Amino acid sequence: MLIKFTIITLFPEALRPYLDSSMLYKAQDRGIIGVEYVNLRDFGLGPHKSVDDTPYGGGDGMLLRCEPIFAAIESIKQQSPEAEVILPTPVGMVWNQALARQFAVVGSYGAPGAYSGTAEPTDQGLTTNAPGEPSTAAKRHFVILCPHYEGYDERILTLVDHQISIGNYVLTGGELPALIIIDSITRLLPGVLGGATSAEIESFSEGENLEYPQYTKPAEFRGMAVPEVLLSGHHGKIAEWRTEQSRQRTASRQKSENL
C-alpha cells in the first residue's frame, strides 16, 4: 500500500459511496491506497457521546470540543506515529495541483514540502497488492479530520500538520474537502489511471496551464466538426495546435479572473 487515508468524521455514511466507486474503488482493490473511517462520536463525552459545546465569549453555533478530537487522533497515532494530520479549514493553504503532487510523493521523496517539483514521483521500487491480498504497511498515512458545526476549538491545531482550504467559500462540514483531497492525491499515484501519461497532460499539470480541447468519434456531430489538424495524423502539427489551444484557454481564464 502506498498511502493510507484515515478519515475522522461524524458522517462516515456520507463518504463511503464515493470512495467505494470508480477509480477510488480500483485503487483500494489494487492495494494502492487504503481507506478507514473513525467515527468521532465513538470518542464523545457522557451518555449522549457529546462532541460539541457553545463557544466561550458567546456567539451562534456550536464548536467541536478538544477532548473527542484529541482522543481520536491519539488512538490513531498509537498505531501509526508517523501519520500526518490534515484539517480542512478556510484559513489553510489553498489546495491546488502542485500541492496534490507533493502529497502524492511516497517512498524516498519525503514528506510534503520536501518535494522540490523538479522530478516526478515514480513507481520504482514500489509494489502494490493483488486483489484479495492482505494490505501491507502504508508508505504514507494521512489522517483527515472533518470539522462540523460552527467550527472547532483552536487548541486542536496543536495536533494538525497541514491546514488545507479548498477555496474561498464555506461548507457545512469537512467531508467534501476530504473527498477532494483524497481523489486528487490518489489519481496521481502509479497504477491508478489507465494511461502512463494521463495525469501529465491535464489542466494544472504545469503551473496554471489549462488542458487543450479534446475530441472523440464521430468526426462530425450536428454540424460541429472535429478540428482537421486532429484528423491529419501529423503529430508535430497536433502538438503545436494543442500547445496553442492550451495557451489561449489559460490566457482567457486569467483575463476573466482579473476583470
- What's the CATH number where 234 sits? 1.10.1270.20
Are residues 259 and 177 located together in one domain of the fold?
Answer: no
Rounded CA-CA distance 223/245 in Å is 21
pLDDT bracket for residue 137 (50, 70, 90) = confident
Residue 83 domain-assigned (yes or no): yes
Residue 194 domain-assigned (yes or no): no
- Provide the pLDDT for residue 256: 85
Residue 191 domain-assigned (yes or no): no
Are residues 90 and 211 located together in one domain of the fold?
Answer: no
Are residues 9 and 137 located together in one domain of the fold?
Answer: yes
Are residues 101 and 8 located together in one domain of the fold?
Answer: yes
Q: Is the dihedral of CA 160, 162, 163, 165 positive or negative?
A: negative
Are residues 7 and 105 located together in one domain of the fold?
Answer: yes
- Provide the pLDDT for residue 130: 42
- Provide the pLDDT for residue 131: 42
- Provide the pLDDT for residue 80: 97
At 113, which CATH number? 3.40.1280.10
Per-residue pLDDT tens over the stretch 105-123: 986 434 444 333 333 443 4
| Residue among 115, 104, 144 nearest 9 (CA) | 144
Are residues 219 and 160 located together in one domain of the fold?
Answer: no
Residue 75 domain-assigned (yes or no): yes
Domain final residue, candidates 159, 186, 213: 186
Q: For the residues 222-251, what does the mean pLDDT come to?
A: 95
Domain final residue, candidates 126, 161, 186: 186
Q: Number of structural domains, the chain?
A: 2
Are residues 123 and 163 located together in one domain of the fold?
Answer: yes
pLDDT bracket for residue 255 (50, 70, 90) = confident
Say if residue 251's pLDDT is above 70: yes
pLDDT bracket for residue 135 (50, 70, 90) = very low
Q: For the residues 162-168, what does the mean pLDDT come to?
A: 96
Are residues 122 and 250 located together in one domain of the fold?
Answer: no
Tell me which of 149 and 102 has the higher pLDDT: 102
Residue range of the domain that includes 234: 203-259
Are residues 34 and 124 located together in one domain of the fold?
Answer: yes
Residue 193 domain-assigned (yes or no): no
Say if residue 124's pLDDT is above 90: no
Say if residue 232's pLDDT is above 60: yes
Q: Indicate whether this model's pTM tops 0.95.
A: no
Residue 134 domain-assigned (yes or no): yes
pLDDT bracket for residue 205 (50, 70, 90) = low
Domain final residue, candidates 186, 212, 241: 186
Residue 244 domain-assigned (yes or no): yes
Say if residue 196's pLDDT is above 80: no
Averaged pLDDT score across all residues of the chain: 87
